[in-house]
Structure 1
Amino acid sequence: MPAPTSCGTPTSTSPYASAGSTRIWVGVPPTPSPSWSTSGRIDRPVNAVPARQGHGPATTSSTPTTTAGTRAKNLPRGCSSSSARCSMRWPMRPRELTVQGFRSYRRRTTFDLRGRRLVGVVGPIGAGKSTILDAVVFALYGKTPSFERDTRSLIHQLEDGCQVELLFEVDGQIWRAQRALRRKGQSQHRLERLAKDADDAEVLETVLQEKPVRQRVERLLGMSFDAFCRSVLLAQNRFAEFLKATPTDRNAVLKGVFGYERFDGALSAAKDRARRVELELDGIEREGSRLAEARARLAEARAEAGATSARHAGLDAARGRLDVLTQARDAALRDATEASARTAQLQATAGALPWAERLEEVADDARAAADAVRIAQEDVTVADEGKKVAQAELEAISERIGGHAAFQAFAALVEKLDHEARAVEQAAAAAAATAREAEAARAAANDLARAATKKREALDAATAVLEAAGPARTEAEAALHVTQHAEMAHELRRDLTAGEPCPVCDRVVERVPRAGAAPKVATADRALVKARTVETKARNTKEQAAAGAATALEQAAGGGERAEALAIQLVARQDAARDAEAALAATKSELVDRLGDGDPRALLDERQHELELAETAVRAASAAADAARTHLDTCRAHADEAGRGLATLANQLASAWGLLGQARPVGTAAADVRSSYVQLGETLVERLTEAAEAGDRAGAEAHAATEAVAAELAALDLPPDSDVARVVAAAAAAAAASAERVRTIEETLATGADLEARLVVATEARDVARRLVADLQPSRFLAYLLEEERAALADLGSVHLEELTHGAYRFSGDDAFHVLDMNAGAADRTADSLSGGETFLASLALALALAEMVARGGGRLDSFLLDEGFGSLDAEHLDRAMDGIGRLVAGDVDRLVVLVSHVEQMRQLMEDLIVLDKDVRTGETRVLSGAGPA
């Protein structure tokens, strides 16, 4: 097989792939054979194991002797099975494994196992090493050694489901097993056979559902789940299951590994053949019984055929006479039925006609309604005339005194007169009030003017005082300054010395001035303070006087303006009073022109009352006319209803005439309705009489014909109500059936001529099948083969165990697989008495021996999945164990061995590694290496 590239190519697109999943390809080129040596003792052929005494040379026959109780002989241990055992068998070889959401593998991860032989899986505890092996088993069988029932526990704790897909090869065919679990809902199980190992491979076969997929896998691999876990998969803490298994469990493993389950199929086929031959013999015996019975029934069948044929001939001859009588009877019955139907129709027509009392009632109602319409029409005419008279009187009054529009204008003038009178009074009062206000404003303005003059005089006086206080303050300041300098000079004189520099100007003092009186600085200072106080008071007085003068001038100006404004307002209000008086006079004149002299409001009420009386009369006349017209409409509606009643009666009578076959129109007048009603009654009586007479005649004819038919049927032993045609047909069918039974019996007797010869052949076939079933029983032939394989496995396992333990241990010579401790005088030790390291080495020796036997015999054990167990070995035994495992993949054999271990020394001894790690936060598995060449 060519070496794959560093990154394997996916063989298919899984239906479980989801968007966003990360696909990690783990694949390396085929590794060369391990560097450690291989013992020559392992290379000896299987048939080199000494044969037991009593065995002759090898033969090619795989069929045991047919003598029950004697096991097959002449079969060497090296080729102890059938031709299927000795012929070449293709191995079961995993090619690619894909997991997602499976235990610690949350992301989609793919392991490419193509071309790989010895693969080590290493990593810390919980990194998902054993999960790889669990995934292989789960893909094949739908369960794992740790989770055989609660498989949903295999789903990652943060996911709702998981998917596992395994691509493998068996017997040269490519298969793909797919399984998906859901926390809620149905699981999915699918097995496909592909045309090739490629992405676009055609699907040649599909198996669905859990049980069919598991059964198909068991047939492909030749072993059940338990047998697989004891031979191919040596799971964690279950490495020694084959060593400690019962003989029955070991036989199940060996049968699957070496293909002996086909003997079960052969036994099943032999049993099926025996059952089929037994059924055939039973059929032949039943056929013999049927032939004897047929010979006894032939004479009876021939007699029955003659009788049925004669019966059919007699009935067929009488059928013509019966047909004539039956036709006459049927015609008379039809006539009687038609007469009865006509009578019923005429009676129904008569029953549907209205009663005579109803007709008279409708006619009288129509006549009374017509009279009421005439009287109501006369009342409408009288009411219309009264309405016209009242309207003429109203028009005359309106023309004389005006209508409502004029009265509204009169009322508006009266209201206007009242309003203008009030306006005159208000204008006069306002003018008087304004005159008083104007007079008061003029007096106040004069007072304010005089006050302003006084304020101005006070301001002038304050200004003069301030002007005089300024020079006095300046003079006091100058006097204080002079006094202060004089005091300074007086003080300085004390420090002056003639001929010395002056301390102030630094000039030489020529002579010291004479001492004078001390200056009066305090007096000058008080005089200055007084002058400043006088000036400040004068300034304040002036400011107050200026403010008072300004206020007085402003008030005087405001008072003058108010007096002037009131004078102007007085003139305007006096003009308004005159205008109001003129408008009042004009309105009075207009009312006199329209209503005359007198109280305008009383005159207006009098004329309005006259108009209202005329309008009331018009309304009363209109109401009377409307009432008369409404009564007329009511009378007309009643008359129309009465007319419709007559029309309904006319339609009913016309319909009745139509049912009698006469299309006769009926008028809607009362006389027409009465006349048509009488004529229709007479016609119905006449036709009812005719129908009754026709029915009586037809009944008599039908009775006579029925009696004749009954007499003819009685002569043929048939009941009176028999269907002659059906009876004749039944007689013909009975005659044909009788003839067919005679023919069938004769054919049966003819076909039974070779019964004896067929019985001899079937008996011989049954005897052969029974011998095959006896020879293929598990307690004989297959038990012998399995005994040979167990013995060969014990011998070859001892060779490996001696090599792994430097000759310290070997297996017992029987098939119990006890361990002989050579250092203790070949003491016999059971598997339960071995230490952990001893148990592991013994189990490994059996696994190596089983693989070697299968490889030489063409079996199907070409994949080993080993989980842990190496930690119990020291360095020397670990090297020996790895040396033995190396032989499993040495040479040209395409065998895959996957080792899972924590042992660091094993990691150093292996070249092809899958290195795993886990996320410390989430516990999710991460693939660190294995995606490229080792």
Structure 2
Amino acid sequence: MKLHRLELEGFGPFRERQTIDFDLFDAHGLFLISGRTGAGKSSILDGVCYALYGTAPRYDGGDRGLRSDHCDPDEPTEVRLEFTAGGHRWRVTRSPEYDRPKARGDGMTTQKSAVLVEQLAGGEWTGRTTRHREAGDLLDEILGLNRDQFQQVILLAQNRFAEFLLARNDDRQALLRTLFGTRRYEEYEKAFEQRRRTAQLVLDADRALLHSQLDNAESIVADNNLAGASGDSAAAEDSDPPALVDSDADRLSAVQRAVPRARYRADESARRRGEAEDEHDAALAAFGARSVLRKRQEERLASRLALSALEARGLDTAADRMRLDRARSAEALRAPVESAAHARTVAARAAEIEGAARAAWIAAGGADADSSALRTLVDAIAGDLAVWANAAATERTLPALESARARADESVAALETALSALGAGRAARAARIAVIEPELADAEAAAPALDPARELLESAVTRLAAGQDAERLSQVARTAEVAHLSAVADLELASAAVRNLLERRLDGFAGELADGLTDGEPCPVCGSVEHPHLAAAAAEPITDDAIALAEAALDAANRAASVASAKARTARAAHADAAARAGGQTLPRLEAAHSEAEERLKRAVAAADAIARHKRELRDLRETDASAGREREILASRLSDEREARAETIQRLNAAHEAVDAARGSFAAVADRIASAKHRRDMARTLADAADDRARGEAAAAEAEIDRDERLTGSDFADAAAAVEAMLDPAAQQLLAERVRTHEVALTTERERLLALETELAGAPDELVDLDEAAATASLARETWNAAVATAARDAEVAAQLADAASRAATAHVAAQDRQAECRLIVGLADAVAGRNDSRMDLETFVLAAELEEIVQAANLRLEAMSSGRYLLQHTDAVGARKVASGLGIAVFDAYTGQARPAQSLSGGETFLASLALALGLAEVVTARAGGVRLDTLFIDEGFGSLDEQSLDLAMRTLDELRQGGRTVGLISHVAAMKEQLPAQLVVEPTSQGPSVIRQDAGVPA
């Protein structure tokens, strides 16, 4: 990285824009930044660091203090830096946040911090980003160094020069961790520690599982008395409890020895179950045989009784058979008898109907006539009805035609009225348009602008919300400050309590020691065997628990104070942000501005609404007028069509009246005449049909009676009444036949069954055999068998459970052994990585120690020359006092004494030389680790005044070597000898008005 140009305006002590051209010093390589104390020499380095990283070495708290106090409120603050990195030229422009006067109105407003990163391409600067986060990421990528690395290897700032040399092991580790990015090793340590804890938890879980499995197996052994005595066979049983064992392996072995005992017991129980089952089967078979004999005896007795009952019902069955035969003979005459009766009934009914129809015909004025004459009359009436039907249809259309004529009259009248109304509306609209047009022009000329009013209201709303937030957050900040003050007070009280306990504990140690002394026994402190003045023991001795409780309270108070401090800082920042967004205005002024903006917007909106209403009304009137013209044309065309349709309707109505009058005759309506003719026709047709039906019925009845009488002559019945009396319906016949057949089948079946039973039980007594004794024997055998089955099942289940438990315990034992070996390995690794070893060096420290060795080697190349061969830096990994972590120590070897000495023992000048050599060595190693970042520009701030003339000369020679390869080194110093040696200078001079200016003198190259 090489710097080219730096511009400072309104920054630190510089009010006017100051420009530094670093390229003018390329020919010298070394240049001096000089000036009086407080003139602003270090502010040049602050400007470089602020341009690149947004912060300065002396202003780590933010950028609010970077603005020059000499600036007027309306003057800007800006830093611009041009540099080359990675073969490209870049320009960064930054300005911090500061307050400036408002562009409009009174008061101040906050000028936000800004950044611009540009790249030179094709002779023109091209902007890359203006966002702070993007600028930070882009510059980190371009530079290859973060801010801490930059300040260690390029910008060696004042008051931080010797930090690395004199740092403690922990502080040096924190800095090296940042420079070399070794925080991941700390993550490795945490990961291994987590793995160690996890492995231990898993091992504990495996051991707990093993003990659970052993406990389960041992409970099975104990509950079932399976723990045999030492030397007993597997079949032996012992009621004594299991012997105590000293290890998991012994417990597992004892469980495994009980498994064959359980299996032997299960086998014996299974054998006894088989014997009991055989005895039960035999008893059950005996009981079954006697049960079968008794059942057959009971069946024989029941069969004898059933046969006697069937034989007693024989006479009733014979009577049923005779009745069934007579009914079957009468069934053959059923059809002719019923046909003759039905035919006679039909003939009588037809005669009644004919008589009624003839009487009605004569009563209506008809002449008595036969069927043929009546049918001729019916045909004549049908011809007249066909003619009158058309006239009746025309008659039914008369009301519709009358209504159509009336509607036509109304339609014509309505169209004429509508045309008249359209003419009147057109005149009214023309008058309204003449009024609206000038009103619209006046409203458009007087209306205020709407968009500026909206923007003004949005700004007022934003500021009012910010002011309300500031009002609310002010109280929150005050509350947080009070809470912080209270937490600090509690912390002080807790700290005082711990100090008081420790002081009392120390005061009481002498008394505790005195209580343990015995005359003649030596004192563990002084060795004396005489104890003339024993210290008094404390009235209330201070215990470790009391101190631990007080320290715990101190820790809690410390945490509470930290939390309260963070909350207070957050509340203050939030309030400051809200106040800045509110523009520094009070809440009443913000509310008034908001109300004024709202009123202005309301007036603008009202004016815009009025203009819109006038435009809408004007547009509607014109559209309505155009629509009314089109409607008038349509209505005129419709009026012509309606008048023609009305004339046609009148013509059709007159023709219909003429046709209906001709067909009506003497009746009130054609429909009345048609109804009268249809009634006469229907009466004539009914009488003719009844006469024909009566003649056909008489002939059919005579024929059916002749057939019936012929069939009765050859039958067993004297007349039709006897045959009807013997008849039965099919269901009754079926029931009677089924009753006869059922009795015959039952009688035959029962005789055969009784014969079979008598044959089977030949020789068996008639008395029923007794079953109680056989049942008792079978029940006892079943109980014995059930008990044997339950015992065998229980013993088999116990054997299976014990075998499974023993197998699980063995598996858990093997797993626990494997897990223990794995856990031992992981614990060893975790301890090694975490530095729990004799050297007290963790993995990260080990890696950083290697880096530190390279840094020390690089530093010694220059320190040996600058100290004339007296001093060399040494890396030491010796364990500190009280086993403090080690690995990153730095000692100084003094060739004059041949001994190593602490760096803190060096004088001021020696410390400067050693720090300079170490800083340069650190710069070289960090640069190499950062991907070969090229350091073409280097700054060293102060420290040369502590050197004598010879040491200064040696240091200058060393720095002169840094110029090789085109490097430029800037030195900040008050030493007069350096002003003489370095003609290229930047002189920072304060003016009489206060602000400083920079004078650049390139000098003459040596």
Return the TM-score normalized by structure 2: 0.31
Bigger radius of gyration among the two: 1
Q: Give the structure-1-normalised TM-score.
A: 0.33
